[in-house]
Amino acid sequence: MKVTVRFFARFGELLGNNREIEAREGISVADLVKEAASGNKAGYDTIFDEEGAFRDFVIVMRNKKRIRTQDAGSIQVGEGDEIAVFPPVAGG
Amino acid sequence: MLFGEEGQEQLQDATIFIAGAGGLGSPVSIYLAVLGVGTLIIADNDRVDQTNLNRQILYRDQDIGRRKAAVAGERLQEVNPDIMVKAVDATIDQHTVSSLTRDADGIVDALDDFPTRYLLNKAALEKEIPLFHGGISGFFGQATTILPGKTPCLRCIIPRPPPAEVFPVAGVTAGFIGLIQATEVCKYLLCRGDLLAGRLLLWDGMQGRIEEIPVETDPDCEACAGKYKGRS
Ligand SMILES: [Zn+2]
């Protein structure tokens, strides 16, 4: 099934902003983002910690609705979904 | 006059607290001063450094080494002698935040760290005044307007502090996001238009794209959970 993963800001610079992905049925949001990020270690490491969990400041949206990153491992991706991943920034 | 006599009076009667006189605080304060916001309170505890000058447009080469609050106060008063400028050389912390925001009708978040932003968020919730949030890094930024009791609070939207920025901020990004914040203040004080309320604006200067995402109240929010139960 076709899904879109969108990386914002610094994540997008490292991983590409828009990624059309042919995903397998039943894949979780967390695994989808991991696969999409796997090509670039720096990008992967800014999103995921050493245990492979989302870093706690990362915001993940599924079809414009926020999902808790703790739940992303158990939420399945559906056909045509858009998953957006972005880092809030702290500077001023 | 763009806002009419009544609008200009509404601006004249307002007091806005600007937390930070750096990259965001510079454009926000300059534009609110020329707009004619009657009282501007701006706080910063830092000195002007040469490395600030590429984005902190309140300061000039000759100001290097001086206290930011002192310079900001002078400059804003030069920009508009008809307003009251209170530039405070102070650290914003849990002890000072309530006195700094006491008279404010709104708080502009022009800080560069989230723990202090959460203090502003708490003050805004307690006083039930808006918090105009902005954050920047490199060519990226975000902004939203928090209306206590009506929108999610800053902690609902960004519950965990992002790491301190290691990337330098482009001056144009500070200008861009700062002017969004100043525009929000202007609209709020004049009761016009649609505020960025319940929406988080994301700016990607490298791609030249603005996105916005809807934000929701977090029932488990550390800052506001329970506070507005049954009200919004
Ligand atoms: Zn909240």
Domains defined along chain A, listed by start = 2-86 (3.10.20.30)
Q: For residue range B177-220, what is the model confidence (pLDDT) as tens digits? A: 999 999 999 999 999 999 999 999 999 999 999 999 999 999 99
Rounded Cα–Cα distance for residues B186 and B191 (Å): 8
Whether A82 contacts chain B with CB within 8 A: no
CB < 8 Å to A91, chain B: 23, 112, 135-137, 165, 167, 169
Which protein residues have a CB closer than 5 Å to ligand 1 (ion)?
B 153, 155-156, 221, 223-224
Whether A90 contacts chain B with CB within 8 A: yes
Whether A10 contacts chain B with CB within 8 A: yes
pLDDT at position B231, please? 45
pLDDT at position B228, please? 63
Helix H or strand E encompassing B180? helix B171-190
Rounded Cα–Cα distance for residues B24 and B136 (Å): 8
pLDDT averaged over chain B? 95
| B138/A10 touch (CB, cutoff 8 Å), yes or no | yes
Torsion sign over Cα B46, B48, B54, B60? positive
Question: Which residues of chain B are at the A interface, by a Cβ-Cβ cutoff of 8 Å?
Answer: 20, 22-25, 109-114, 134-138, 140-142, 158, 160-165, 167, 169, 174, 202, 204, 206-207, 211, 213-216
Mean pLDDT over residues B55-73, rounded?
Answer: 98
What is the domain partition of chain B in residue ranges?
Answer: 4-214
Percent of chain B predicted with pLDDT > 90 = 92
Whether A13 contacts chain B with CB within 8 A: yes
| A64/B214 touch (CB, cutoff 8 Å), yes or no | yes
pLDDT at position A45, please? 96
| B213/A56 touch (CB, cutoff 8 Å), yes or no | no
| B137/A91 touch (CB, cutoff 8 Å), yes or no | yes
Count Cα atoms within 13 angstroms, Cβ side, for B28: 35
pLDDT at position B124, please? 98
CB < 8 Å to B131, chain A: none
Rounded Cα–Cα distance for residues B206 and B75 (Å): 31
Whether A26 contacts chain B with CB within 8 A: no
Q: Which of B137, B160, B215 sits opposite A89 (nearest CB)?
A: B137
Q: For residue range B97-122, what is the model confidence (pLDDT) as tens digits? A: 999 999 999 999 999 999 999 999 99
Confidence of residue A3 (pLDDT cuts 50, 70, 90): very high
**Complex-level ipTM:** 0.91
Q: What is the CATH number of domain B4-214?
A: 3.40.50.720
AA identity, residue B15: T
CB < 8 Å to B134, chain A: 92
Count Cα atoms within 13 angstroms, Cβ side, for A51: 5
Buried b (16+ CB within 10 A) or exposed e, A70-85: eebeebebeeebebbb
